Structure 1
Amino acid sequence: MAKFPRLLWSESKLRDNMRYLNNLFSSCAWPIAWTPVTKATCAHPDIVKVLLSEGVAEIADSRIENLKQVKSLSSACRTLLLRLPGLHEITDVIQYADTSLVSEQTTIARLSDAAKAAGVRHRIILMVELGDLREGVLPQHVLERGRFILQQENIDWCGIGTNLTCYGGILPTREKMTQLLDLKASIARELGHVVDVVSGGNSSSLSLLLDGNMPAGISHLRLGEALLLGRETAQGGQIAGMHGDIFTLEAEVIEVQVKGSVPEGERGMDAFGKTPEFEDIGDHTRAILAIGKQDVPIEELVPLDDNVRILGGSSDHMILDVGSDAVRVGDIVAFRVSYPVLLQAMTSPYVAKTRA
């Protein structure tokens, strides 16, 4: 018997998106690779297996727990840790991540010590701050940090990279990508070291490639939302030829009643400490679904039925205006899934994850 709420996903559409991206990158005039990012799916085993069956050689994630899951499915698959390593997890990073994104000197030194103790070499990509104000060293400090890296034992400095749009909303541009390439040249000229990987960002950087504005020499992108939702995230546009509906969220109706639209009585705060406002549309048919803010950001959901409107909810209830639809207890209501919905629904243990 089906369990609800549930997140349905299409294997065939996921494979289509994989193949679209593979074809896009293989058709470039210079060598450029992409790594699928599984953090929005918590490296769900069935989804990882699909990626592996499509020939993926490397998978990226922000959580060591997820990289451990990947390694349990394929010891041969390389893993890339996206979030800067915490000092408390250095031993696990060395064990489960083949490559780390780094910025801090202390962290690099600890990785070196742990890699030496384990008798392995660990690859690092030095992150560069190009304006979004999340992780990375300032461009003027790259050479200084590079000199330190080259002194570390058991560390292979394979690349430089950047992250844009995630915090400050700063867009990737040809100029910012060129800045990375200039840093690569400076590293070779001043330090005598060649970094093979120039990682130009995430799904927001994909638009540069699609528009023909990506400068030759950028050799790597890290793609999650583009793969899973078929979107470039610079402007949030759907990519022609990619599926945006791999995932659908479904929840069960547990009550249908005709009620007023404005609460009655003396009002205080709701369950989340807010004082909500209500539109008075008179008596109408309201349905309650067995899903709430503990499971998904309900304000991000879009009902597939245009006659259904989300009114709000609490931690474990969502309330709908179902208009003239003949909705009954036990019916299933379906929703389009955005990136925040996918991320939270996949993380919630109360939402089933089911292959369609």
Structure 2
Amino acid sequence: MAANPRLEINVGKIAGNTAQVAQKAGANGVNIVGVTKVCCGAPEVARAVKQGGAAMLGDSRLENIARMKEAGIPGPYMLIRIPMQSAAAETVRLADYCLLSDVVTGRILGAEARRQGKTMHVIIMVDVGDLREGFWPNQIPGAVTELAAVEGLAIAGLGVNLTC
């Protein structure tokens, strides 16, 4: 037995638990995103989550998404944070979806998506009072109007981050 701490992951249980959640969610018309950030995008975990029925894989780090893609695990993939403007090219190359909290970043992502011949799907974040990220609720209509006009972007929905 190893002397160092280690984490053992039962991928069979991950797949089984994912299947239960996916079935219950699917019965209500909801698809799930299997988030792999706690295991740094470990391909064996991502594979189990997809096998269990997750419609998409999500991670907070582009390098973890790259790791899963390099392992041949099919997407789509979601960057579950706001991308840095300086990482727009890598975000569009690796992720199919990302969170978005400002129009300028949306324009940059749209331009990069056009350059790469892709569409970047965005979830527009709404700040609900925890001052963490997103547009204020009264800014949403204007932001949606502006972002909907950006070629290369597709608005996938609205999101909130509450006390995370």
TM-score (norm 2): 0.91
- Is residue 2:48 matched to residue 1:25? no
* Contact 1:85-1:102 within 8 A present in 2 as well: yes
- Is residue 2:63 matched to residue 1:65? yes
Q: 1:38 aligns with which of 18, 36, 40?
A: 36
| Cα deviation code 1:124-155 (max 9, x no counterpart) | 11011112321110000001111211221111
Q: CA deviation at 1:75?
A: 5.8
Q: 1:103 aligns with which of 97, 101, 104?
A: 101
Structure having the larger proportion of residues in helix: 2
SS of the counterpart of 2:8? strand
* Contact 2:22-2:54 within 8 A present in 1 as well: no
* Contact 2:88-2:108 within 8 A present in 1 as well: yes
Structure having the larger proportion of residues in strand: 1
CA distance in 2, matches of 1:55, 1:21: 9
Partner of 2:110: 112
Q: CA deviation at 1:51?
A: 1.7
* Contact 2:78-2:96 within 8 A present in 1 as well: yes
What residue ranges of structure 1 are gaps of 5+ in the alignment? 167-356
Closer, same or farther: CA 7–125 of 1 in aligned 2, 3 Å:
same
* Contact 1:127-1:136 within 8 A present in 2 as well: yes
* Contact 1:49-1:73 within 8 A present in 2 as well: no
Partner of 1:10: 10
SS of the counterpart of 2:32? strand
- What residue identity is the alignment partner of 2:123? I
| Cα deviation code 1:239-264 (max 9, x no counterpart) | xxxxxxxxxxxxxxxxxxxxxxxxxx
TM-score (norm 1): 0.44
Q: CA deviation at 1:3?
A: 6.1
* Contact 2:110-2:150 within 8 A present in 1 as well: yes
Q: CA deviation at 1:111?
A: 0.3
Closer, same or farther: CA 56–64 of 1 in aligned 2, 3 Å:
same
Closer, same or farther: CA 97–3 of 1 in aligned 2, 3 Å:
farther
* Contact 1:84-1:100 within 8 A present in 2 as well: yes
CA distance in 2, matches of 1:68, 1:107: 21
User: What is the aligned residue count?
Assistant: 164
| Cα deviation code 1:159-185 (max 9, x no counterpart) | 11111120xxxxxxxxxxxxxxxxxxx
Q: 1:91 aligns with which of 74, 81, 89?
A: 89
CA distance in 2, matches of 1:67, 1:41: 12
CA distance in 2, matches of 1:53, 1:105: 36
* Contact 2:128-2:136 within 8 A present in 1 as well: yes
Answer 1 or 2: higher relative contact order, Cα 8 Å, separation at least 6.
Answer: 1
CA distance in 1, matches of 2:56, 2:122: 14
Q: 1:49 aligns with which of 36, 43, 47?
A: 47
Structure exhibiting the larger radius of gyration computed from Cα positions: 1
Partner of 1:138: 136
* Contact 1:56-1:77 within 8 A present in 2 as well: no
CA distance in 1, matches of 2:45, 2:17: 13
What residue ranges of structure 2 are gaps of 5+ in the alignment? none
Aligned CA-pair RMSD: 1.7
* Contact 2:11-2:48 within 8 A present in 1 as well: yes
Q: How does 1:264-283 map to 2 (within 5 A)?
A: none
